[in-house]
Chain A
């Protein structure tokens, strides 16, 4: 351990998704000082973008609300949004983290009334709905935002519209002059909970995600099913807003493929089973075909698989489809070999959902922190820089929500040991 310089027992948690929130809350409730840094304007991450969880089909709003209350009630935990970690140097117990902030242009005086959004004229892409729709330039990141504070898109700053937005705010919460900033922070341990991104479906060339309007991804399906999504929870296909009643799910779209992601992403089987449940709930005459190599529903998840399988309107076809074409009606047509009957098929659907996997984010914007990654790009607890750096949730490898929470709790304990132990 480094003997020189300032020392700190503060734990820095990078990423405000379910793993980062859990790490921060667990560590703070155990008595540690914690700083949670989130890149976006709100906590919640990918979990906030889910309509419902498998296997119980409950809503993530409930778990997020409990966690937000735990954050609010804890003085040892400080949340910094719109901020990234640019670099970490030093040694365990005495790291210097360089934090860079982007302007939100809305101060803590914001009450979340929404007058600024009503004063906005331009609309900007909405990453919360995977850009399936747009939001006003002044907007709330999502209905379960934390902090419950609006954000103004950079694109309108310096225009007359920004002045109108400022004038519309009755609480004087708009700060158009806010600049990007940066500061250093001394911390004792770092937990990377930087999550994942959906694998780029356009790379699955034979499936024509970019060519066929009615070929969507599983994360987009989640937004279509969500009441806070672009269709307000109605599952309509993109080309003509027709109810999607005959739907195919393609498993391992990118995962377990040496051309794409060589590993199993672990969540896609259950996500597709859940999507089948959404469709069967939405439409009494819905028919779902799940194309699979093998269904990986282990342990407590197996009964959910059994439940979906018992539904005669959900068919399981053992095949990795080879390609997707489109017929005159705009229906996507699947081509491939049913490996059990050995027949070549050519089947049309209203909509096809690609069960794309989880890609690591470590390669996207790697901070200068001598992070170690495994052969796939997921972050492993590093022995370098004194061994005080850990990873939690999907930053460490493909996990579902409950396993991410377990991983986060473990990371909180390791971080506490790192700052307290010898």
Chain B
């Protein structure tokens, strides 16, 4: 039966999502009414709307769910969450699935995922976001050639921003006592690795 053409279904996926994604314990409440997908302002730019994605979770389509651009194109406007007649925190669940998608290597090509990585890198390292470093790290995350091309394309804008003092040259902005930030993040990683919060 197994072969390259055969779709695989993880029949325990819905249960796994319900137990491991924040807010997803309410997924079983979904009655597939379509309010979320209809309310999504960028629904036309998603592989699948939230309703369909929930159906795919139930169907056990693990890989298709985790590689859907739905997780990355969500703007977190919360229209779906506010309007859901069953009180399902749709936005929160999409965020949780995006985290899993990154951890399992499904999100590599997604620009939003690459940008998030660059943003977080700067934040964790300096305690602040540095526009130059975040932007260039984001550009080069798509490869050297793409990085050079994008940087050239935006060079004029960057120079104008420097002139208008909206972007600075020299060392990146940093917070004081970065060691404390590193300690906080290390503790957070330790708790995450344990798979539970302090209160659990």
Please report A residues at the B interface, Cβ cutoff 8 Å. 206, 252, 256-260, 293, 318-323, 335-339, 342, 344
Contacts and interface: CB of A to CB of B under 8 A. Distances in A.
Interface string B161-197: 0000000000000000000000000000000000000
Interface of B: 31-35, 37-39, 43-44, 49, 51-52, 82-83, 85-87
Contacts of A260: 85
A337 B51 contact: yes
A323 B86 contact: no
A339 B32 contact: yes
B39 A323 contact: yes
Contact of A322 (B44, B83, B87): B83
Nearest to A257: B85
A256 B32 CA distance: 13
Contacts of A342: 49, 52
11 contacts: A252-B33, A256-B85, A260-B85, A319-B33, A320-B38, A322-B35, A322-B37, A323-B38, A335-B38, A336-B38, A337-B43
Contacts of A293: 31-33
A337 B49 contact: yes
A342 B49 CA distance: 9
Given A320-B33, A323-B38, A344-B49, 10 more contacts: A252-B33, A320-B35, A322-B38, A323-B39, A335-B38, A336-B35, A337-B43, A339-B32, A344-B37, A344-B38
A321 B87 contact: no
Given A206-B39, A344-B44, A339 B85 contact: no
A272 B34 CA distance: 20
Nearest to B82: A259
Report the 4 A-B pairs with minimum CB-CB distance, sorted nearest first.
A322-B38, A336-B38, A257-B85, A320-B33
Contacts of A323: 38-39
Nearest to A322: B38
A318 B32 CA distance: 9
Contacts, number: 59
Nearest to A293: B33
A139 to B, nearest CB: 40
A406 B49 CA distance: 45
A338 B51 CA distance: 11
B39 A258 contact: no
B31 A322 contact: no
B85 A258 contact: yes
B119 to A, nearest CB: 31
B38 A258 contact: no
B83 A206 contact: yes
A359 to B, nearest CB: 16
Most buried by A among B31, B38, B51, B83: B38
A347 to B, nearest CB: 12
A259 B85 contact: yes
B38 A337 contact: yes
B85 A321 contact: no
Nearest to B35: A320
Contacts of A344: 37-38, 43-44, 49
A258 to B, nearest CB: 5
A338 B39 CA distance: 12
Contacts of B35: 320, 322, 336
A339 B49 CA distance: 10
Contacts of A257: 85
Contacts of B82: 259
A180 B96 CA distance: 63
A402 B133 CA distance: 72
Contacts of B52: 342
Contact of B85 (A320, A335, A337): A320
A337 B83 contact: no
Contacts of A258: 85-87
Most buried by B among A206, A258, A322, A323: A322
Nearest to B85: A257
A293 to B, nearest CB: 5
A342 B85 CA distance: 19
A339 B31 contact: no
A389 to B, nearest CB: 33
Nearest to A260: B85
B199 to A, nearest CB: 27
